[in-house]
Amino acid sequence: MRQIGIGIAGFGTIGVGVYKHLVGNRRLLEERLGLELTVKKIADLDITRPRTPMPPAELFTTDWHDLINDPEVQIVVELMGGVKIPYQFVMAALEAGKIVVTANKALLAEHGKEIFAVAAEKRIPVFFEAAAAGGVPIIKALKEAFVANHIRSMHGIINGTSNYILTRMTQAGLGFEQALAEAQAAGYAEADPTLDINGWDAAHKAIILASLAYGFWVDGKDIHVEGIQNVTATDIQFAQKLGYKIKLLAVIKSDESCTENCPIEVRVHPTLVPESHVLASVNGVFNAIAVHGDVVGETLFYGRGAGQDATASAVISDLAEAAVALETPRPNFGFVPHGLYGSCTPIEEVVTPYYMRLAVIDRPGVLALITGILSEESIGISSVIQPEAHEEETVPLVLMLHAAPQGRMNRATEKIAALECVKRPPQVLRVESFA
């Protein structure tokens, strides 16, 4: 049985999980692949910290160049985290002719275009299933199962930390800070949760998914990203009264009427999702991605988007495919560009319905002032909620607004915020209709 040598760069939680399951499921992998996957070298800055299981000491090195220079290492696995050093490592591996497996979403979101250009030039594949939605096999589906489909849309809950926080705010009535502290105590949020709560962890994944689906590498500067840090328990409660759940949603859409050089939408933000939609029931740390293809129709991918075992499963899936690629070279090196799509729609032109919550003075004529401004911007109102019970001199005023371009909504919001009767900055969230 042919032995395939593997080098692992980065031996934290995910690296340990990959090693553990490669060893534990060795016989299963050999039976299914007809190949033996063997870890030849492990690079990590800390090679003395105890792990379970603990590899033999002779496998360890503190210099990632040792993986590149070892002739017995045919496939390298990048699990270091960060961007600068992993980029150097991946480019060096490709130059050395070694197949690359990575779980690094930030690396691909920022440098995917350059990495895949070198991969195509060197004819060396890069595998990255674990870089988006952990153990959910969405990358393989986009590259293979949906190859005959124009992807009409993808709607994804692809950050487990933010989904856990919003779930606890919904189910337990917690405020944002309380729910975040609970997520950190449970190990679902990092000590520094910035990338999770500001939306950029999900945005990195959305960039990868959009790029695969539409054949051009999406630039992070061209997408719209908002986090959940300004969502309040009050917003959660009003959303429920209106028949919605609030989710941090990645929305990726194409223009169905366009046939060539078509624009796409790529945005990540808190969104009101109808309770009747399947994504509204995705709770806790779970991820889900609803994909609509023009041939296959509606599909749903659901599972754990992070964690040692889920991510290790995706990495080992890539290792298995990489090992087969050593035996049978392939024309696809990880990303296939094409010219049917080519730009992102500016957020000012994106059209959605909206939820707007205001804190206003309780006096006659206030609603007329607000509706007058909305009318000036040709934004219609579908419903209004103004509870009788209130504190101090202000009352909450909630308006559900018909679909309008973001640019018009921005102008209306600025005018409304400037009114003397509006006492706090307006809270504006998008509503997704899934039409």
User: Is pLDDT above 70 for 392?
Assistant: no
User: Is pLDDT above 70 for 260?
Assistant: yes
Indicate which residues carry an active-site annotation: 205
Handedness of CA 317, 319, 321, 324 (dihedral sign): negative
Q: What is the mean pLDDT of residues 217-243?
A: 97
Q: What is the mean pLDDT of residues 370-392?
A: 89
Q: What's the pLDDT at 218? A: 96
349-431: which CATH number, 3.30.70.260, 3.30.365.10, 1.10.10.10, 3.40.30.10?
3.30.70.260
Per-residue pLDDT band for 433 (boundaries 50, 70, 90) equals confident
Instruction: Tell me the C-alpha distance between 390 and 103, whole Å.
Output: 49
Instruction: Tell me the C-alpha distance between 119 and 99, whole Å.
Output: 9
Residues 6+ away with beta carbon under 8 Å from 304: 134, 135, 136, 160, 285, 286, 287, 310
Cβ distance 232 to 173 under 8 Å? no
* pTM of structure: 0.95
Judged by average pLDDT, the poorest of 241-245, 260-264, 298-302 is 260-264
The residues of the chain that CATH labels 3.30.70.260 are 349-431
Handedness of CA 292, 297, 303, 306 (dihedral sign): negative
Residue-wise pLDDT for 15-51, tens only, equals 999 999 999 999 999 999 999 999 999 999 999 999 9
Instruction: Tell me the C-alpha distance between 85 and 304, whole Å.
Output: 28
The residues of the chain that CATH labels 3.30.360.10 are 138-305
User: Rounded to the nearest 5 degrees, what angle is found at the Cα of 402, between the Cα atoms of 399 and 405?
Assistant: 115
Q: What's the pLDDT at 390? A: 62
Q: What's the pLDDT at 287? A: 97
Residue-wise pLDDT for 237-250, tens only, equals 999 999 999 999 99
Angle in degrees, 0-180, between the axes of helices 160-172 and 233-241, rounded to the nearest 10: 70
User: Is pLDDT above 90 for 387?
Assistant: no
Cβ distance 8 to 15 under 8 Å? yes
Angle in degrees, 0-180, between the axes of helices 200-214 and 105-122, rounded to the nearest 10: 30
Instruction: Tell me the C-alpha distance between 323 and 74, whole Å.
Output: 9
Per-residue pLDDT band for 101 (boundaries 50, 70, 90) equals very high
Per-residue pLDDT band for 389 (boundaries 50, 70, 90) equals low
Q: What is the mean pLDDT of residues 110-121?
A: 96
DSSP 53: S
pLDDT-above-70 percentage for the chain = 99
Which strands make up the sheet holding 35-43, listed edge to edge?
60-61, 35-43, 2-9, 75-78, 99-102, 126-127
Per the prediction, the chain carries an average pLDDT of 95
Q: What's the pLDDT at 391? A: 61
138-305: which CATH number, 3.40.50.300, 3.30.360.10, 3.40.50.920, 3.40.1260.10?
3.30.360.10
Per-residue pLDDT band for 146 (boundaries 50, 70, 90) equals very high
The residues of the chain that CATH labels 3.40.50.720 are 2-135+309-327
Say whether domain 2-135+309-327 belongs to CATH 3.40.50.720. Answer: yes
**DSSP three-state, residue 11:** coil
Q: What's the pLDDT at 80? A: 96
Considering only residues 342 and 83, tell me which one the structure prediction assigns the higher pLDDT: 83
List, in sequence order, every beta strand (DSSP E) within 223-284. 224-225, 244-254, 262-274
Considering only residues 371 and 433, tell me which one the structure prediction assigns the higher pLDDT: 371
Per-residue pLDDT band for 406 (boundaries 50, 70, 90) equals very high
Burial of 288 (0-12, 13-18, 19+ CB in 10 A): buried
Instruction: Tell me the C-alpha distance between 101 and 108, whole Å.
Output: 12
Q: What's the pLDDT at 417? A: 98
Q: Which amino acid is at 294?
A: D
